[in-house]
Homo-oligomer: A and B are copies of this chain.
Amino acid sequence: MSHSPVDSHSSHPRTVTAPRGTTLHARGWPQEAALRMLQNNLDPEVAEHPQDLVVYGGSGRAARDWSSFDALVRTLTTLAGDETMLVQSGRPVGVLRTDEWAPRVLIANSHLVPDWATWEEFRRLEALGLTMYGQMTAGSWIYIGTQGILQGTYETFAAVAARLAERGVTPPESSGSLAGTLTVTAGLGGMGGAQPLAVTMNGGVVICVECDESRIRRRLDHRYLDVRADSVDHALRLAEEAVRARRPLSVGVLGNAAEVVPALLARSVPVDVVTDQTSAHDPLMYLPLGVAFDDWAAERARDPEGLVERARESMARHVEAMVGFLDAGAEVFDYGNSIRDEARKGGLTRAFAFPGFVPAYIRPLFCEGKGPFRWVALSGDPADIARTDKAVLELFPDNEPLVRWIRLAGERVHFQGLPARICWLGYGERDRAGLRFNELVASGEVTAPIVIGRDHLDAGSVASPYRETEAMADGSDAIADWPLLNAMVNVASGAAWVSLHHGGGVGIGRSIHAGQVTVADGTPLAARKLARVLGNDPATGVIRHVDAGYERAEETARRLGVRTPMREGPVEGSVQP
């Protein structure tokens, strides 16, 4: 009953980076793309803990273990253009002959039969070597570092700024920016590290609480964070000064959010916006009050159940303070880490007093099929991304927030691993961009193929009642048919690889979601696939929101011709049985 007949002792942790340039290590560009993106996910510039194969988000892995990684690489290098590799929770389990039109890789990560879908059972099975946690883009090989979340975070804070202006909190001269406002948040990890830059790109001031010194240092190094304060007092002095001057500034401070956030409330600090991105979705990874950061790992190993309980109690304190800021008039939202539900488990009654960020700010975008479109230059050449940036500006010159983002991103975003870009595009836009990139590859204006994918957090690809599908208009929050349809649609439409995950973002038991990646290698076949995938993938988002009754989605479907049979009358000449 061995799970590693290939001697696992021959598979050591090591430093992995993706090859650059135009030399193929596989039998075709789609396979090469999967190979490089797997490797890129583990690049020390990209991954949070590459030696453990952990890419981001607590324990989100790219491969189950190093012998699985070796087998993935070995298989991708030899996979034919009509073969498909099957990946079960980070381990390659089979190779089948399918078709040129079919994906080269099919991935299912972290799924459990629902009655068994708890962290306890998951960790038990993980310890047996039977599964791994894939998060969203860790196990589906399309993580691009903190830029991935930066764009989403940027869009979210822009929407928050607009809301503050509507509410008259900010004066008209702020013109929809966060100038002169103070935001408080916590967590500077793989996702949360985007928060300081997203706030300052919107002109605001932010204090970020983080208990791990190395994370603060990393965000300073990457220029996502401006300064580090020595103490909460120091942070407040720096922040208040910047707010008065209406000057953007991000301040990191070492501490436990469950202590610092209540302390700020107790002092009646005038905070305008409060959120959080500690890894609350996995309570083992939220530092409880009274535990020193340096003792944490040992304590976790010694008494995991006890630590989970203490973490939930601490989150109750933390969220209680967030609710206090809400009562004081601040814009407060859950940033997709399940902290409200954990705080509820920790005993807090009013944990759900503030909304999740999706119903508050993101759903209107989903109704138009808008979501996090991203791409990567397999050449490794930043000039290729500059060329695609230019193409996007040429394609959508009238989309002001998009144009502003692309310009700022070009200046401020530090590439991690292979150069990459992200921007939010809707139904009818993504396919145009993909086809344009394919032309650039075909013409040689871009030097090697471009990989095009997205986060699993997208319009039609996720069921997650505490985040993406919270408070749906028709009550369909927990209906999980949609991400499965999305995955099957992407397989049917010719994506290069398709992934179906459980538990990403909000934790085991709480979400089902899908991803796709397509490769623009300049061929006519790629063009056909790009047109299908990049049309149909966001179309499932429009469809999902039409079905839930959102008028904005119905309007989009009507305007752009997305077919929804329940809205169609009897067709002439059709047969009624």
Q: Which of A90-98, A348-356, A375-383, A385-393 lines the interface with chain B?
A: A90-98
B464 touches A113 (CB 8 A): yes
A566 to B101, CA, bound (A): 26
Residues of B within 8 A of A241 (CB): none
A147 at the interface (CB under 8 A from B): no
Chain A residues 496 to 536 lying within 8 A of chain B, measured CB to CB, are: 498, 500, 502, 508-512, 528, 532, 535-536
Task: Say yes or no: is A175 at the interface (Cβ < 8 Å to chain B).
Answer: no
B488 touching A106, Cβ below 8 Å: yes
Query: Is A2 positioned at the interface, with any CB of B under 8 Å from its CB?
Result: yes
A134: nearest residue on chain B (CB-CB)? B481
Number of chain copies forming the complex: 2
Q: Which of A1, A2, A511 has the most CB of B within 10 A?
A: A1
Interface size class of A (residues with CB under 8 A): 35 or more
The smallest C-beta distance from A20 to any residue of chain B, in angstroms, reads 12
Partner of A77 from the list B475, B508, B536, B571 (CB cut-off 8 Å) is: B571
Among candidates B3, B88, B465, B547, residue contacting A485 with C-beta atoms closer than 8 Å: B88
A256 adjacent to chain B (CB < 8 Å): no
Residues of B within 8 A of A290 (CB): none
- Assembled-state Cα–Cα distance A508/B1 (Å): 31
**B485 pairs with A488, CB closer than 8 A:** no
- Is A21's CB within 8 Å of the partner chain B? no
Shortest CB–CB separation between residue A494 and chain B, in angstroms? Answer: 7
Between A5, A70, A115, A500, the greatest number of chain B beta carbons within 10 A of the residue's beta carbon is seen for A115
Is A25's CB within 8 Å of the partner chain B?
Answer: yes
Task: Judge whether A214 is part of the interface by a CB distance below 8 angstroms.
Answer: no
Q: Would you list which residues of chain A between 98 and 136 have a CB under 8 Å from chain B?
A: 98-99, 101-103, 106, 108-117, 121, 125, 128, 130-131
A94 to B459, CA, bound (A): 15
> For the complex, what is the distance from the CA of A85 to the CA of B117, rounded to whole Å?
30
> Is the beta-carbon distance between B575 and A131 smaller than 8 angstroms?
no
Residue A284 at the chain B interface, CB threshold 8 Å: no
Binding stretch for chain B, among A52-60, A268-276, A294-302, A557-565: A557-565
Docked Cα-Cα span, A570 to B77, in Å, equals 11
Q: Does A339 contact B (CB under 8 A)?
A: no
A8 CB to nearest chain B CB (Å): 10
B481 & A89 in contact (Cβ 8 Å cutoff): yes
Task: Tell me the minimal C-beta distance from A356 to chain B in angstroms.
Answer: 14
Asked whether B96 lies within 8 Å of A1 as measured between CB atoms, the reply is no
| B478 with A125: CB separation less than 8 A | yes
Chain B residues whose C-beta falls within 8 Å of the C-beta of A125 in the assembled complex: 475-476, 478-479
Question: Nearest Cβ in chain B — how far from A431, in angstroms?
Answer: 11
- Chain A interface, >50% SS class: mixed
Chain B residues with Cβ below 8 Å from A19 are 577
* A106-B488, A481-B111, A512-B111 as given contacts; A75 in contact with B565, CB under 8 Å: yes
Chain A contacts with B in 1-30, Cβ cutoff 8 A: 1-6, 16-19, 25
8 Å CB interface, A276-295 against B = none
Least CB distance, A152 to chain B, in whole angstroms: 21
A418 within 8 A of partner (CB)? no
* Pair A575/B86 contact, Cβ less than 8 Å: no
Contact call A492/B491, Cβ cutoff below 8 A: yes
Which residues of B are found within 8 Å of A477, using beta-carbon distances?
113, 116
**A482 interface residue (CB < 8 Å to B):** yes
Q: A102-B493, A465-B116, A492-B491 given as contacts; is B130 within 8 A of A479 (CB)?
A: yes
* Contact present for B480 and A113 (CB under 8 Å): yes
Q: A522 to B536, alpha carbons, bound, how many Å?
A: 30
A99 touches B484 (CB 8 A): no
**CB distance A94 to B540 under 8 Å?**
yes
Q: Provide the A295-313 mask, 1 if CB < 8 A to any CB of B, else 0.
A: 0000000000000000000
Identify A502's interface contact among B121, B480, B488, B494, CB under 8 A: B480
Contact present for B568 and A84 (CB under 8 Å)? no
CB of B566 within 8 A of CB of A68, answer: yes
A569 contacts B by Cβ under 8 Å: yes
Q: Does A489 sit within 8 A of B, measured CB to CB?
A: yes
Q: Any chain B CB within 8 A of the CB of A473?
A: yes
Q: Is A463 an interface residue (CB 8 A)?
A: yes
A197 at the interface (CB under 8 A from B): no
**Is A487 part of the binding interface, using a Cβ–Cβ cutoff of 8 Å?**
yes
Can you report 20 residue pairs joining A to B where beta carbons are below 8 Å apart?
A1-B473, A6-B568, A72-B565, A74-B570, A74-B574, A84-B492, A92-B566, A94-B539, A95-B565, A106-B492, A109-B481, A111-B463, A112-B114, A112-B478, A113-B477, A113-B510, A115-B117, A117-B117, A130-B474, A480-B502
Residues of chain A touching chain B, judged by Cβ–Cβ distance below 8 Å, are 1-6, 16-19, 25, 39, 67-68, 70-75, 77-78, 84-86, 88-89, 91-99, 101-103, 106, 108-117, 121, 125, 128, 130-131, 463-465, 473-482, 484-485, 487-489, 491-494, 498, 500, 502, 508-512, 528, 532, 535-536, 539-540, 543-544, 546-549, 562-571, 574-577
**Smallest CB-CB A-B distances: 3 pairs:** A114-B117, A116-B478, A102-B492
